[in-house]
Structure 1
Amino acid sequence: MKSKWFKRSLMLGVILAIVLNFVTLPYYVTRPGDAQVLAPLVEVEGGYENKGKFMLTTVKMGKANIFTYALAKVSDYQTIFPINQIRSEDETDEEYSYRQLHMMESSKETAIKVAYEKAGKKVDLITKGVYVFSVKEGLAAEGKLKIGDRITKVDGEDTTTAEALIDKVNSKKIGDKIELIFDRDDRQESAMITLGEHPEDPNRPGIGISLMTDYTIEMDPDISINTSQIGGPSAGLMFSLEIYNQLVKEDIAKGYEIAGTGAMNENGKVQRIGGIAQKIVAADNSGVEIFFAPNENGREGSNYQEAMKAAKDINTDMKIVPVDTFDEAIAYLEALDPK
C-alpha cells in the first residue's frame, strides 16, 4: 500500500514539475554566457591570420519559470528583470528579437567603418533612413506606424538618421502635425501624425516610437560577418578589433586571448552596455587574459568600475582595461609586450 502511494506521489510530483517548468513568470533571467572567438565569424577577403584571439562575451537570457526564478534569487551572477525592463508591454518576443538583430547589424556596420578607416582602407557608410523599432501603445503613432517601417522623409525632406528625425520633431509643438513617408513591405506609404506628449517629458512633443538609423556600407576589401545567433550592439568594439587585426599585417593581439564589450558609434567612441559583471564571469570561465571595458570617461558607476568589482569578487587574474575609444584600445595593444 505504501509502495503504491509513494509511486503515485512521485508521479504527481514529476508531472507537477514538468508543468511548472513550462509556466513562465513575468520576468526574464540573465546569467553569464561564454566568450566566443571572433575569427571564425569574421572573414576579411585576403585578410591576415593571427595567433592572438579577439573574443566577444555573451549573456544568456530567458523567460523565468518558478525554478529559474528561485535559482536566480540565490545566485550572485544571475539577475532578474521584470519584462517591461527588457521589452515594452506591447512588444512581442518576435518584435524584440527583430530589434536586437537589427541593432547587431548596425553595430557590425559601424565596426567595419571604424576598423577600415583606422587601417587606411576604402569604406563608405551610407544612411538609408530610419527604422521603427517599437510603437508605444496609446501614443501618437499607434495604428499609423509599425515595427520594421523605414522612414525616409519628414514633411517632404529626406531624413537619413534617427537624430535628424528627432531634431525635426523637437522643432515642433505638441498638437502640430507631421507627415512621414516610409517604406513598408516593399511599398512606399505615408502617414500624417499629430504630435502628442513625449512619454518621458510631457513638455516636449513626441511620436511614441523608438528609432535606429538604417545603414548600408561599401568597403574594399570585402568582408563577411556571421552573427545569425547574436543580437544587440554590445560587441561593436570587439568586432572592430578583430576586423582591424585581419586588415593589418601585425598581430595586434600579440598572442593573447582578449575579450571585451562595448557598443561603439561611427566615430569610434566606446559606449556603455548592460550585464558587464556577467560578462566578466563568462570571460574568466573561458580563460580570457585581457578584458576591455567601457570607461565612460571615468564617471562614477561606469562599466569599468562594475567590471573591476566583479573581477575582484571572483578573484580573477584577468587584466581589466578601461577604454573610451577604439583608438585607446589600439594604443594599449601597441604598447603590449608580445606573449
Structure 2
Amino acid sequence: MNKSSIVIGILSILFYLLFLFLYIQDIIDEFLFLIILLMSLIILLVSLIIMLFIYVVFRKKYVAKKKIAIATLIIFVLFCYEVPLIGYYTSPTHLAYAYSEPTEALKGTGIYSIGVDQFSLNNGKSKQAVEELLTKQHVDVLSVIEVNNKTIYGIKNRQILKWLHLLKEHSPEETRENVALYLGREDEWLKTFLGRPNIEGDSSGLSLVLTGLIKQGDFQNQIPIAVTGSINENGKVFGVVNIKEKIQITEKTGIPFMIIPSENAEEVAEIQKELKANVEIFDVSHVDEAVQLIRDLNEKR
C-alpha cells in the first residue's frame, strides 16, 4: 500500500472520528451520526461505480479508483459497527443507584455481601427531580447518573464485545460454578443465596468463598466485614462496578471493615478522599490474602 492510500485511510478515519466526537458530546444524535456515515458511504459507492463504468466502457483508468475503494471499505466497516446504536434510542434518561441491605449468605459468619439496587427512569427532568421522585417512594438514593450519548455508546460497545465473545457476561450462575469449584463442593446455602430474585453479576464471589471456608472450619471470623469482588475457580479476585455506592452502603450500615479487589484500589483511594467514609478498606488480589487479612483483624480485636 503506497503513501497516498495510507493518507486516504487516515483521512477517512479522522472524518469518522470528527462526527463520533460530536455524537459523544451530545451535539448530534445517533440518527444524524448514522445518516452522515450512510450518505458518505453512498457518495463513495456512487463515485466508485462511475469510475468502474468509465473504465469498462472507455477503458480509461483512474488512479483515484483505488483510493476511493479504500475509503469506501473503511466507512462501510465503521457504519456497520455503529448501526446497533439505533437499538438504544429508547434508553432511560437516568440511572439511579440505591441502598440495598448487606446480606450474610450464612448467619453468624460476619461476612456481608454488598449489592446495589438500580433503577432506570425515563423522561426524568433532572437528577434532582429523579432523586426527589424516588425519595417519595421511600428509596434511599445514593447516586443518580444522567444517561447521555457517551453512556449509550459504552453500552453499545460492551454489547458488541459480548456478541463477539470478547467480553464475558458475568452472571450468578458463573459465580456459583466458580465458588463451588474453589470450595470443592456445592452446598444448598450457595444455591439458595444466588437463587434469590434480582441477583445479577458476580461481585458476591469473594464473599461467598469466604463464607464457605468459614463453614468448612478453615478459619473463624467474629467481626462484621463487608466484602465485594468476583473470583475465578483458582481464587483470583477481580474488580467490580458500583464500588462508590458499595462503600456508601457499608458506612450507612455501620460495618467497620471492607474488603475490595486490588483492581479497584486506585479508584477507591479517590472515592475515600471524596466521601471521607468512616470505613477501613483493604484490597486483595486472591482469596488467600482475604483469609489472612480476616485472621489478622480478628487477632487485633
TM-score interval, normalised by the smaller of the two chains: 0.5 to 0.7
More strand by share: 1
Q: Distance in 2 between matches of 1:317 and 1:290?
A: 9
> Are positions 1:245 and 2:214 aligned together?
yes
CA distance in 2, matches of 1:261, 1:87: 26
Matches within 5 A, 1:53-92: 53-67=110-124, 69-71=126-128, 77-81=143-147, 82-83=151-152, 85-86=154-155
Alignment partner, residue 140 of structure 1: none
Identify the residue that residue 105 of structure 1 maps to in structure 2. 173
Shift of the 77–334 alpha-carbon distance from structure 1 to 2, 3 Å rule, reads same
Structure 1 counterpart of 2:234, one-letter code: N
- CA distance 1:68–1:275, change in 2 (3 Å): farther
- Higher-helix-fraction structure: 2
Deviations 1:242-287 (A, max 9, x none): 1111111642x2x211112111111111111111111111111111
What residue number does 1:269 align with?
A: 236
1:103-252 matched pairs, under 5 angstroms: 103-114=171-182, 116=183, 123=184, 219=185, 223=189, 224-227=191-194, 228-229=196-197, 230-248=199-217, 250-251=219-220
- Which of 37, 55, 74 is residue 103 of structure 2 equivalent to? 37
Answer whether contact 2:112 2:224 (CA < 8 A) is retained. yes
1:323 partnered with 2:290: no
User: For residue 305 of structure 1, what is the aligned residue in structure 2?
Assistant: 266
| Cα distance, 1:307–1:35 mapped onto 2, change above 3 Å | farther
Rg larger in 1 or in 2? 2
**Distance of 2:156 and 2:223 partners within structure 1:** 37
Q: Give the match's secondary structure for 1:34.
A: coil
Q: Secondary structure at the match of 1:31?
A: strand
Number of equivalenced pairs: 189
User: Would the aligned equivalents of 2:100 and 2:115 in 1 still touch at CA under 8 Å?
Assistant: yes
**CA RMSD across the alignment:** 3.3
- The alpha-carbon deviation at position 307 of structure 1 amounts to 1.9
1:315 positional shift: 2.2
Task: Using the TM superposition, give the Cα deviation of residue 87 of structure 1 relative to its aligned residue in structure 2, in angstroms.
Answer: 6.3
Instruction: Identify if the C-alpha distance between structure 1 residues 326 and 68 changes in structure 2 by more than 3 Å, giving closer, same or farther.
Output: farther
Distance 2:294 2:240 in 1: 22
2:231 touches 2:238 (CA, 8 Å); kept in 1? yes
In the alignment, the residues of structure 2 paired with residue 330 and residue 69 of structure 1 have an alpha-carbon distance, to the nearest angstrom, of 44
Superposed displacement of residue 70, structure 1: 2.4
Distance 1:222 1:65 in 2: 39
Unmatched 5+ residue regions in structure 1? 1-23, 43-48, 92-98, 117-122, 124-218, 297-302
Contact 1:72–1:80 at 8 Å: present in 2 too?
Answer: no
Residue 261 of structure 2 corresponds to residue 294 of structure 1 = yes
Structure 1 residue matching 2:143: 3-state secondary structure: coil
Q: Secondary structure at the match of 2:114?
A: strand
- Matched residue SS, 1:337: helix
Identity of aligned residues (%): 22
Q: Which residue number corresponds to residue 293 of structure 2?
A: 332
Distance, in Å, in 1 between the alignment partners of 2:121 and 2:186 is: 45
Q: Quick check: 1:284–1:316 contact (8 Å CA) kept in 2?
A: yes
Instruction: For 1:333 and 1:315, locate their aligned partners in 2 and report how far apart those are by CA, in whole Å.
Output: 23
Q: Give, in angstroms, the shift of residue 35 of structure 1.
A: 4.2
Alpha-carbon distance in 1 for matches of 2:202, 2:94: 19
Tell me the TM-score normalised to structure 1 length: 0.48
Higher relative contact order (CA 8 A, sep 6+): 1
CA distance in 2, matches of 1:289, 1:240: 21
Counterpart of 1:225 in structure 2: which amino acid? T
- The offset of 1:90, in angstroms, is 8.6
Contact 1:35 1:56 in 2 (8 A): no
CA offsets 1:211-251 (integer angstroms, 9 cap, x no match): xxxxxxxx376654322221111111111111111111642
CA distance in 2, matches of 1:327, 1:72: 45
Please tell me the residue identity of whatever aligns with 1:107: T
* Contact kept in structure 2, 1:308 and 1:320, CA below 8 Å: no
Any conservation in 2 of the 1:259–1:283 contact (CA below 8 Å)? yes
